[in-house]
Structure 1
C-alpha cells in the first residue's frame, strides 16, 4: 500500500526539529505590541505591571516565539507562508500542499526585559489520515520555551496538514 509519508521522514518522529534562542527586549516587544494593536498596559506601564503582581513590564505572551525565531524575509518564505526552518524542513513529495492545522500554547511564566529564551521543537507525530477530500498527512510538533534560569516559560503544540496536489480539486 502506498503512503504519503516517506520512511526517512517517519523515522524522524521523536527527534528535535529545531533549536533557537533569542533575547526578549522591551523596545522590540513594545514595537510588536503596537504593530498588532495590543496596547495592554502590562507591556508598557511599570506601575500597572507592578499593580498586577509583576516585577516590571512584561512581554506579551505570544511575543516569545518572535523573540526566538525573528522575522523571515518575504522572499524566502515557502508557498505556504512559513520559513520551514522551525519545522525541521520535512519533505512530503506526494503531499506538497501545506496548511496550518492549529496551535495551542500554554504560558507558564512571564518574560522580562533581557530574558534569554531557548526554544526546542520536537516532532511529536506524523500520521496519514483519510478525510472527505482524500488522504493527507498530519504533523504535530511540541515546542518548549525556557528562560536563562531553565524555567519553563511556555509550551506549544503545533500541527500542519500536507495534502497531495490533486486533493480537494
Structure 2
C-alpha cells in the first residue's frame, strides 16, 4: 500500500510589491478648518447631543472659552467631500488610505480603530491629518487569505500641537 502525500495548497500573494513598498510612507495628508456650524450639523446628524458642542455657557462652566468640536469630528473636518461618481467600488474615496491597491483582494472592510484624544479643537482651528502606513501583512483566516493594513494617523493644529492619534486597520479580501 502506497501512501500519497498531498501537496500543500498554494496561497496566492495578495500584497503587490507597490503596496508593500508603502510601509513607513506617509500616504495621506490633508488640512481643514474646524467650523462651528459644520461640527454642530455633524453632531446632530450622528446623534451627539453633548452640550459642550452647542452651549457656550455650559462649555465655559467646564473650563472652555467657548463650545468645542466633538473629537470624532476631526477626520470630517480635514477630508472634504468626494462626488459620488468618483467613489471607489468599495464606497470610499481613497483619500485617507493613500489609494493602496490590492487587485487580487478588492473587497475591503474596516478592521478597527483606536484613537487617543489629547485636546479639543474650537472654531477656527486648522487641523492637519498625516497618515502613515504602519504595516501590511497577509494572513490566513477561517474563510481564506486576507490582507491586514494598519495606519498610524496624527492630527495636529495650527500651532503644531498634537490633537489626536489613531491606529486604524483595514481588511482586504479576494
**Which of the five TM-score ranges fits, normalised by the shorter chain?**
over 0.9
Distance of 1:142 and 1:136 partners within structure 2: 20
Gaps (5+ residues) in structure 2?
1-9
Distance of 2:59 and 2:81 partners within structure 1: 27
Q: Which TM-score applies when normalising by structure 2? A: 0.90
What displacement does 1:7 show?
1.2
What displacement does 1:79 show?
2.3
Q: Which TM-score applies when normalising by structure 1? A: 0.93
Correspondence 1:17 to 2:27: yes
Q: 79, 84, 88: which one pairs with 1:69? A: 79
Kept after mapping to 1: 8 A contact 2:79/2:95: no
Question: Could you tell me which residue of structure 2 aligns to residue 118 of structure 1?
Answer: 128
State the secondary structure of the residue aligned to 2:69: coil
What displacement does 1:150 show?
0.7
Question: Cα deviation per residue 1:65-84 (whole Å; 9 max; x = unaligned)?
Answer: 10000232333222222111
Written as runs of structure 1 = structure 2, the 5 A alignment for 1:51-70 is 51-70=61-80
Question: Cα deviation per residue 1:33-54 (whole Å; 9 max; x = unaligned)?
Answer: 1121212110111110111111
Distance of 1:149 and 1:55 partners within structure 2: 18
CA root-mean-square deviation: 1.1
Aligned residues: 164
Question: Could you tell me which residue of structure 2 aligns to residue 142 of structure 1?
Answer: 152
Q: 84, 108, 123: which one pairs with 2:118? A: 108
Question: Could you tell me which residue of structure 1 aligns to residue 3 of structure 2?
Answer: none
Distance of 1:70 and 1:9 partners within structure 2: 25
Distance of 2:91 and 2:167 partners within structure 1: 19
Question: Could you tell me which residue of structure 1 aligns to residue 4 of structure 2?
Answer: none
Gaps (5+ residues) in structure 1?
165-169
Larger radius of gyration: 2
Distance of 1:162 and 1:116 partners within structure 2: 32
Distance of 1:100 and 1:74 partners within structure 2: 20
Question: Cα deviation per residue 1:135-159 (whole Å; 9 max; x = unaligned)?
Answer: 1000011100000111100111111
Correspondence 1:152 to 2:162: yes
Question: Could you tell me which residue of structure 2 aligns to residue 130 of structure 1?
Answer: 140
Distance of 2:42 and 2:115 partners within structure 1: 19
